């Protein structure tokens, strides 16, 4: 069995870091992903807006280096959580948990300018695939970078 999701798209806003009740940092990034087929009615490509939860150092690095409009590749998995509504109803919410984020093109958070020069320094070499931040194991532990 396999539970894997791969998304390539652009961030729709700067990520806002938060802290869980256990003290771990996390953030939710929204990614605009164009569909691979045209809408038969309009003749254009529709776009899906997908929220991805990222944890630990991945979230911190994405907040630091990927602002609104950054092109990113995300590898992760589908997860779920139980949500209680004010009317005392409980339902299952499906979410995407990002385990690896690669920067294809980045924008400085809070601006709309590229930060390719900073990434060239960060890469410490000539890597055509960009910068990748990846989780260890199941993505629920301390996170490290591929640098």
Per-residue tens of pLDDT for the chain, all 147 residues: 999 999 999 999 999 899 999 999 999 999 999 988 888 999 888 999 999 999 999 999 999 888 899 999 999 999 998 888 888 889 898 999 999 999 888 776 766 555 444 443 333 233 334 455 555 444 433 333 332
Residue 143 lies in a domain: no
Domain presence at residue 44: yes
50: CATH: 2.40.50.140
* Residues spanned by the domain of 105: 5-137
pTM above 0.75, yes or no: no
By the 8 A CB rule, do 100 and 54 touch? no
In a domain, 45, yes or no: yes
In a domain, 29, yes or no: yes
Q: How many domains does the chain have?
A: 1
Contacts made by residues 43-46, CB under 8 angstroms, sequence distance 24+: none
* Residue 99 belongs to a domain: yes
Which two structure tokens, joined as six digits, stand for 129?
A: 């695939």
**Residue 22 forms part of a structural domain:** yes
Within a domain: 142: no
In a domain, 147, yes or no: no
């Amino acid at each position: 069995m396999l539970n894997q999701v791969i998304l390539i798209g652009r961030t729709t806003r700067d990520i806002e870091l938060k802290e869980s009740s256990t003290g771990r940092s996390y953030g939710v990034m929204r990614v605009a992903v164009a569909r691979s087929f045209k809408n038969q009615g309009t003749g254009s490509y529709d776009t899906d807006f997908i929220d991805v939860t990222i944890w630990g150092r991945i979230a911190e690095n994405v907040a630091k280096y990927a602002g609104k409009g950054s092109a990113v590749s995300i590898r992760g998995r589908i997860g779920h959580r139980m949500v209680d509504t004010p009317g005392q109803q409980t339902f299952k919410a499906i979410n995407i948990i990002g385990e690896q984020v690669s920067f294809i093109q980045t924008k400085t958070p809070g601006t709309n300018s590229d930060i390719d020069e900073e990434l060239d320094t960060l890469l410490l070499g000539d890597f055509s695939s960009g910068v990748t931040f990846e989780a260890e194991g199941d993505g629920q532990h301390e996170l490290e970078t591929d640098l």
